Amino acid sequence: MDKSILKNDPHFSEGCSSCHKGNNKASRKEDAHKNLVSRPSKDLKTCETCHEDIVKRFKTSLHFTTAGQRHGVMGRFSHNELIKFDKNIFETSCRSCHASCGDCHVRSYPVGGIKLGLIKGHKFIKKDEGRTCALCHGGRVYPEYTGEYGGSADIHYQKGMVCTDCHKKEELHGNGILYKSMKDVKDRPKCSNCHKAGVEDTERSQRPHKIHKEKLTCYACHAGSHYRNCYNCHIGKGAESKPGFYLGINPRDKKTFTTLRVVPTIRDTFKAFNIKMEHFDRLPNYWDSAVHTIKKRTDRTRSCDACHKEKKDYLTEDILIKGGSKANFDLIYKQKSK
């Protein structure tokens, strides 16, 4: 604790006990720390006292509700299995890692047993992406973006851009709407927000964008290297991570071709809780993913043959995960016969 910040930060004007409780009149440490609340912002009412508008929106944000995790898997369950999942797994496992205000602005929350502790000596900070975003999103997105996972860093990172240059505070704090997943957020970042179609420097650059408009996602061509995919996920036992690059039909929009990422839900993921996932085959194991390995020049932008002749990185039946969902077959692109 850097005592110099006590006088300068308004968060300390009411003393430590205003948030952490305990007994600030006690002379012995043991007595002073009795009933101490180590993570006060877990109860949003603590921050709501001063930040009412922000907390009101944050209560329904995906960072706080973790609704995306529930919505992503619930389609595999029967009605009774979903009840069991909500009671025995979602609240005790998935919900345990939801973010509170302090997890981003004061102290990094432990993820997978890794603790980074106070971000800057208990100073309340607006952002420190290497210790906030990177800790929770460091399994795949952040190391892809910075080049730590292999390959070169994303071109936006090389240009000096950070997470909040695209992901604004309205997205992180929420807008008061209770979304099921990030895909439902209408104002989420899009490449076209900065890179307008039709304003390319040359006809050579304009032509492929016109031809592939609404048929390909930007990252289908501009993702520059392998990205992280997870396999064999079991509650309490972790998962295995491998690099991969998969191009296939977008499961959310069958008209588009995009990068796919393996989602680590296998048939016996919840076996220990007597959940068989009766509708496992309704959902695929590969989902559209906006990978953060963007480059201007890639194998696919340099040559049409990479896709149209070589079918480089296409998802095929031979490489589908073993024992996966039958819905995976629907994502394999079938070349139209001439």
Please give the share of the chain, as a percent, with pLDDT higher than 90. Answer: 61
What pLDDT does 112 receive? 63
pTM, to two decimals: 0.88
pLDDT digits (tens, 9 = 90+) for 94-149: 777 778 999 899 988 777 666 778 888 888 988 888 888 888 888 788 999 999 88
**Hey, where are the domains in the chain?**
1-38, 53-189, 191-338
Q: What is the 3-state secondary structure (H, E, C) of the chain?
A: CCCCHHHHCHHHCCCCHHHHECCCCCCCHHHHCCCECCCHHHCCHHHHCCCHHHHHHHCCCHHHHCHHHHHHHHCCCCHHHHHHHHHHHHCCCHHHHCCCHHHHHCECCCECCECCCECCCCCCCCCCCCCCHHHHCCCCHHHHHHCCCCCCCCHHHHCCCCHHHHCCHHHHHCCCCCCCCHHHCCCCCCHHHCCCCCCCCCHHHHHHHHHCCCCECHHHHHECCCEEEEEEEECCCEEEEEEECEEEEECCEEEEEEEEEECCCCCCCCHHHCCCCCCHHHCCCEEECCCCCECCCCHHHHCCHHHHCCCCCECCHHHCCCCCCHHHHHHCCCCCCC
With a cut of 60, say whether residue 40 has pLDDT above it: yes
